[in-house]
Amino acid sequence: MTNTAISVENLSKSYRLGQIGTGTFAHDLNVWWARIRGKPNPMLRIGEADHGNRDGEEIWALRDINFTVKQGEVLGIIGKNGAGKSTLLKILSRVTAPTSGKIKIKGRIASLLEVGTGFHPEMTGRENVYLNGAIMGMTRKEIDGNFDEIIDFSGVDQFIDTPVKRYSSGMYVRLAFAVAAHMNPEILVVDEVLAVGDAEFQQKCLGKMGEVAKEGRTVLFVSHNMGAIQSLCQNSLLIDEGLIVGTGKSEVIVTQYLGLISLESRTIFRTSNKDDHLWLEQIELKRNGVEPASIIQTGDHLTIHLVIKLSKPFTRLYVGVDLLDEWERLIFAFHSKEAGLIIYQEIYPELNVEIDIPQLFLLPGQFHFRVVVADRDGQLVEDVPRAVSFDIVPRDYSTHGYTFNNKHGQLFIPFRIKMTSGKNVWANEVEI
């Protein structure tokens, strides 16, 4: 029988507008005095009254949330920015109290809301390990017991007696994560920590999370990285506008989530600055030639549509679309010049670009496109660093349910594999 690790019952959280006060005591006194005399609030900005008095109006960040997490379950929590994920985690980690409802927890809970909490720059790595560990609820003894492992995992053993202000940001994060990863809590809450550190270290972190999960401990994982959610979590929870709108198998929930956001993130529109003669007006990704999408499976057919507007005629424009991963590493540059397109005719007033990729061999992860346009002298006339971003989700390659994911690199390369032993031959072809 599996036990429940977390039970969230009718949980709500509201933030009150106007109740925070004006910030200074004198102003609050003024407001209070005016209210007693029945006069209007003197601190209200003129014109604000037109929008209605929002004093005391409540914003519900979470509305009557109910769910349970079993011991040993790795639960993904997904949702758009501002959906209430962070509020939920803050209540879970007791940073703030709920407005109503309760959460019952079995076992020690540790959160990685942000690693390195309480690190003091003047103190050495060793001192910070102890301080950070203690802040997260470990006793001196527990840290002593794990100290060597922590240092091993972080890979900063040479500098352990150097003040952390001399550390590179990578070392800093590694040490901080190492402490957090060795807390051995029964329940681990992870929020977006994967956005920091280099790729190798991120693999380590994901590995550690998987390990924690395998040991039968409970993990709540909040991320915008759908690939990571799918490869780590059996089940997920989708939150939107403070409500749980879906629970169940991660594949299903991820699809539901991507349906929610696809309307919002597939295109960007820009209007020109006055002195711009050229600007990217629209970018759109199409999966398998038809559906606008921000979720793409490894090996899918992807089409990129760009609409570039020009306010004066240009000749010899070069258009480049760079494919970058979430750590801003260039994976490939789709450039018109190298593709042999040099246009001598005048271009005006619009340029449509279509880049067609028959099979996109990217492994799961978050990626984005950067759009650059250069004129005949090679000067950049337009540069949109994150024109559009998308997630690659895994595809099943074998009948056993195994799949290649972001643990296997970034690029998928189709291959054949054959193993022989005596008369036995096993072979398979990994293709899409």
Choose between 4 and 389: whose C-beta lies nearer to other proteins. 4
- The CB-of-142 to other proteins minimum distance in angstroms stands at 9
How many C-beta neighbours within 10 Å does residue 32 have? Answer: 11
| Residue of 24, 53, 169, 272 interacting with other proteins (CB under 8 A) | 24
Per CB under 8 A, 109 contacts other proteins: yes
| Residue of 42, 48, 53, 96 interacting with other proteins (CB under 8 A) | 96
Choose between 14 and 403: whose C-beta lies nearer to other proteins. 14
Look at the block and give the residue holding tokens 């999960």: 213
Q: Helices then strands (H, E): number in the chain? A: 8, 20
Listed residue (57, 18, 17, 25) closest to 41, CA to CA: 18
Q: Are the C-beta atoms of residues 365 and 227 closer than 8 Å to each other?
A: yes
Choose between 118 and 145: whose C-beta lies nearer to other proteins. 118
- The CB-of-260 to other proteins minimum distance in angstroms stands at 16
- The CB-of-327 to other proteins minimum distance in angstroms stands at 24
Contacts of 134 (CB under 8 A, 6+ apart): 140, 143
The angle formed by the CA atoms of residues 141, 142 and 143, to the nearest 5 degrees, is: 90
Q: What is the DSSP letter of 257?
A: H
Per CB under 8 A, 52 contacts other proteins: no
Residues within window 119-158 making contact with other proteins, judged by CB under 8 A: 120, 122-123, 127, 130-131, 134-137, 139-140
Per CB under 8 A, 375 contacts other proteins: no
Choices 101-109, 168-176, 200-208, 376-384; region in contact with other proteins by CB under 8 A? 101-109
Distance CA 232, CA 210 (A): 7
Per CB under 8 A, 118 contacts other proteins: yes
What sign for the dihedral angle of Cα 156, 221, 413, 384? Answer: negative
Q: Are the C-beta atoms of residues 369 and 266 closer than 8 Å to each other?
A: no
| Residues found near other proteins in the complex (CB under 8 A) | 3-4, 7, 9-10, 15, 20-21, 23-26, 28, 66-68, 90-109, 111, 113-114, 117-118, 120, 122-123, 127, 130-131, 134-137, 139-140, 163, 244, 246-247
